[in-house]
Amino acid sequence: MFNIAALGRGNGIHKILNQEGAKHMSVTTSVRRAATIFSVLAAAGIHTANAQPGAQSVGFLATLGGSVSTVASFNSAGGTNTVTILGTGLFQVTFPGLGNGLNSNVQVNAYNTNGHPHICTSQGWGSSNSVDVIAYVGCFDFSGNPYSADFSIFYQARHAAPGGWLGFLWADQPTAASYTPNTNWNYNNRGTLNTVTRSGTGVYTATFPNLRGGGNPQVTAYSSGGAAAHCEISSWTARGATTEVGVLCFDGHGNPADEYYSLSYNRSALESEGATNGVYGYAFKPSASSYTPRFYYSEYGGLYPTAQRQRVFGFPLYSFVVSDPNNNTVSPIVGMVTAVGTGGEYCEVEGYDDVGGLGYFDMNLACYDSQERQINARYSAAMFYNVH
């Protein structure tokens, strides 16, 4: 069992970071973000035309120093995922062989490997050749400036419905009072279409018909013009056979703002996605030192998560810990986390630990307010991985 102690800032700080010779990116050439993004997307037909329907596809990766981490990259088609730096804080991710589905979704997280918190957004994804998926990621500092730093990304495309309850959407009309998002990026494995309503500036409710409550939502701001933004989950509630997910969005200065976003919701679907295993949970006690997330909001996948909090240099650092009594080798692995709140909170992944012989592995994370102050916060977390 290999040790992936802190692909970022876990208990064995920077072990793999140093092994891979990675260091913080230094990019000297920037681009005009909006012009570049839209010209590239238009040329590729991304979010105007896409690939033809096919089977399920899943891919994920995390970067270290701008390069793909060898222990945090997965492609269900067997391809080698790559990342290209296009400019300061602007990245192109390629998932070879996954461009076989219209109904697709991307989630992006900042991945703090150098001690500097930041925000990352989706800036478009799709396939122009029905073979490879290209996704664009933008990262920013807390002042809204483009910032070259690490990130994690999770891509999924669905046409054959997995078990459990799974839905996602691309919210493509940020000022509309009520609408059905674009059906090319609107998926519900119970055969219905998801909808969105807006009740105020940056205040949204996404409705997933026939998807059982509890579960795990993840949301990513989609910065169409190359500007900083972030979104968080305000709540998720079962109303009969329907699940409603509240989303709040903010601009690069932390002000409520009407934003595009990408949202996914999943309950009991991780084990049956046909590509990876997974575990998720809702950490609802931000000041508690250790507790078990509510079963209703958790997916164990045969393993058992707990949420822990410690103080490092006086600041709260969280760990989403998964019990693994069989000491399996867990590789590759990537995590996603979304803040749960109403005040513009933001959470990011800080690293992972795979502790051989002790029967667990974990994801470390931290949460911040809009002033870049590390805070106690609720969060919704998920980890995707393969077990050997």
pLDDT tens over the chain, length 388 residues: 222 223 333 332 222 222 333 222 333 333 334 334 433 443 344 443 333 344 578 999 999 988 999 889 999 899 999 999 999 999 999 999 998 766 899 999 999 988 889 999 999 999 988 899 999 999 999 999 999 999 999 999 887 556 788 999 999 999 999 999 999 899 999 989 999 999 999 999 999 999 988 889 999 999 867 799 999 999 999 998 899 999 999 999 899 999 999 999 998 766 545 556 788 889 999 999 888 888 778 776 656 678 888 766 567 778 888 877 777 777 788 999 999 999 999 999 998 887 666 778 889 999 999 888 999 999 999 988 876 5
Residue with tokens 């102690």: 5
Please report the pLDDT score of residue 371 as a whole number: 86
Please report the pLDDT score of residue 47 as a whole number: 42
Please report the pLDDT score of residue 75 as a whole number: 92
Please report the pLDDT score of residue 314 as a whole number: 61
What residues contact residue 19 under an 8 Å CB cut-off, 6+ apart?
Answer: none
Cα 108 from Cα 240, distance rounded (Å): 30
Structure-derived torsion over alpha carbons of residues 137, 138, 139, 144, reported in degrees to the nearest 10: -160
Please report the pLDDT score of residue 245 as a whole number: 98
Backbone dihedral region for residue 269 (phi beyond 0: left; psi -120 to 50: alpha; all else: beta): alpha
Domains of the chain: 279-387 (2.60.40)
Contact by Cβ (8 Å): 155, 100: no
Number of alpha helices (DSSP H) and beta strands (DSSP E) in the chain: 2, 26
Q: Which residues pair with 153 in a beta bridge?
A: 61, 108
Please report the pLDDT score of residue 322 as a whole number: 80
Q: Which regions of 194-259 does DSSP assign to beta strands (E)?
A: 195-200, 203-208, 216-222, 229-239, 242-251
Contact by Cβ (8 Å): 329, 2: yes
Please report the pLDDT score of residue 30 as a whole number: 34
Cα 50 from Cα 274, distance rounded (Å): 23
Please report the pLDDT score of residue 328 as a whole number: 73
Please report the pLDDT score of residue 151 as a whole number: 97
Beta pairing class for 304-312 and 290-291: antiparallel
Please report the pLDDT score of residue 362 as a whole number: 87
Please report the pLDDT score of residue 271 as a whole number: 52
